[in-house]
Amino acid sequence: MKAAVLHAPYDLRIEDRPVPTPANRWVTISVEAAGICGTDVAVYEGKYAASLPRILGHEFCGRVLAVGGDVDGLEPGQRVMAEGSWCVGGEAPDDGTSHDPCMSRLALGRTADGCFCEVVAVPSSTVHAIPNSIRATEAQSITTLATAVRATQRAGELVNRRVVIVGPGHAGLLLLQVCLVAGVQSVSVVGTRDSRLHIARKLGAESVSNVRLASHEDWLQAPAHKEFDVAFEASGTASGLAACFELARRGGRVVSYGIINGTLDEVPGQEIYSKELTILGSRGAEGCYGEAIELLASGSVAVDPLVTHVIPIDQTKEGFAIATQRLEDALRIVLVP
Ligand SMILES: [Zn+2]
């Protein structure tokens, strides 16, 4: 089978690999569609740890190809998606909170071979059935959508709250839609690319602002734009987190949702103290996949406006080139066999 294998940063090769066979309690899945996520780009650029060489990719959907022993409820041909990681390191005692108790995980595309290939093997415990009504180019976004659901859960009460999202990428634009479903009063979106902010408006953002334009200063001066109840950092940058601290109201909540690599030199610590901000981290999507699938199946969340490129797996290198060059119109790049 064809597989996109990363040997070193920027050294991605399309190779012919044997089709995996499922071990006990594992299944193999024929990939229908896989999305290039920001984490994949960080691995590709050597900014996020991975054991190489490795088949990249962790967000996908497909059909069950073969089922190993001791697997219930899954059969060949069934449409499914699988979670991007699974627990291998034991679990901490349940402390009654929603925190993920797993001590150590294996992750597709980083520490286990991923889904940028024709057939991927995963533990059956990570697999979720999806209805036929969800098209493959939509279903490949379920993993990110599930992380957005988790971020809204971490944020606490959202009904009638005024929300700002910093970072209108694939994750931020799914989060925008989940916030609207959760009953927020309004969502504003702050970003650096007009094409993405335009999509945010179309998906229901009340206001948007481009930090690279002079008009952003005017936008910030509006009283409503300094008083957000909840600020989500979805860009994965320290400057995005700094913006959240400034946009949140006194007593507001800041959710660190984008993966920030590195330190936080630019963050205005005084804001945390003087506004008595509550800061929450949101990692992964434990327990949120079912709700994500339901949001897509019901049509409450749209993925199509976010998919800008659909390209064959043997052009994965071109897909990463589009993603790393930060081309103006590129948003979600989807690989298909
Ligand atoms: Zn991802």
Compute, in angstroms, the gap from residue 108 CA to the centroid of ligand 1: 10
Q: Considering just the CA atoms, what is the radius of gyration of the chain in Å?
A: 20
Compute, in angstroms, the gap from residue 297 CA to the centroid of ligand 1: 20
The secondary structure of residue 197, as a DSSP letter, is: H
Compute, in angstroms, the gap from residue 337 CA to the centroid of ligand 1: 19
Q: Which residues of the chain have pLDDT under 50?
A: none
Q: How many CB atoms lie within 10 A of CB 26?
A: 21
**What is the predicted pLDDT for the residue at 224?**
82
**What is the predicted pLDDT for the residue at 95?**
66
Q: The tokens of 53 are what?
A: 């060489």
Nearest-angstrom CA–CA distance, 307 and 124: 28
Nearest-angstrom CA–CA distance, 254 and 327: 29
**What is the predicted pLDDT for the residue at 188?**
97
Compute, in angstroms, the gap from residue 59 CA to the centroid of ligand 1: 6
Note the CATH architecture for domain 2-141+303-336.
Alpha-Beta Complex (3.90)
Compute, in angstroms, the gap from residue 35 CA to the centroid of ligand 1: 8
| 179, amino acid identity | C
The secondary structure of residue 218, as a DSSP letter, is: H
H or E stretch covering 63: strand 60-67
Q: Is the Cβ–Cβ distance between 124 and 27 less than 8 Å?
A: yes
Compute, in angstroms, the gap from residue 168 CA to the centroid of ligand 1: 15
Compute, in angstroms, the gap from residue 60 CA to the centroid of ligand 1: 10
Compute, in angstroms, the gap from residue 57 CA to the centroid of ligand 1: 8
Q: Is the Cβ–Cβ distance between 57 and 109 less than 8 Å?
A: yes
β-bridge mates for residue 127, sequence order: 82
Average pLDDT, the chain: 94
Compute, in angstroms, the gap from residue 220 CA to the centroid of ligand 1: 31
Q: Which residue spans of the chain are classified as CATH 3.90.180.10?
A: 2-141+303-336
**What is the predicted pLDDT for the residue at 164?**
98
Strand boundaries in the chain, DSSP class E: 2-8, 11-16, 26-36, 54-55, 60-67, 79-82, 85-87, 105-107, 119-123, 127-129, 162-166, 186-191, 207-210, 228-233, 248-256, 278-281, 307-312, 332-336
21-32 pLDDT, tens digit per residue, is 999 999 999 999
Q: Which residue spans of the chain are classified as CATH 3.40.50.720?
A: 145-281
Quote the pTM value. Answer: 0.95
Compute, in angstroms, the gap from residue 40 CA to the centroid of ligand 1: 7
The CATH T-level fold of domain 145-281 is: Rossmann fold (3.40.50)
DSSP-assigned states of every residue in 219-257: HHHSGGGG-EEEEEE-S--HHHHHHHHHHEEEEEEEEE-
Q: HSE on the CB side for 251, CA within 13 Å?
A: 1
Compute, in angstroms, the gap from residue 37 CA to the centroid of ligand 1: 5
Compute, in angstroms, the gap from residue 18 CA to the centroid of ligand 1: 25
Compute, in angstroms, the gap from residue 223 CA to the centroid of ligand 1: 35
Q: The tokens of 68 are what?
A: 């190993």
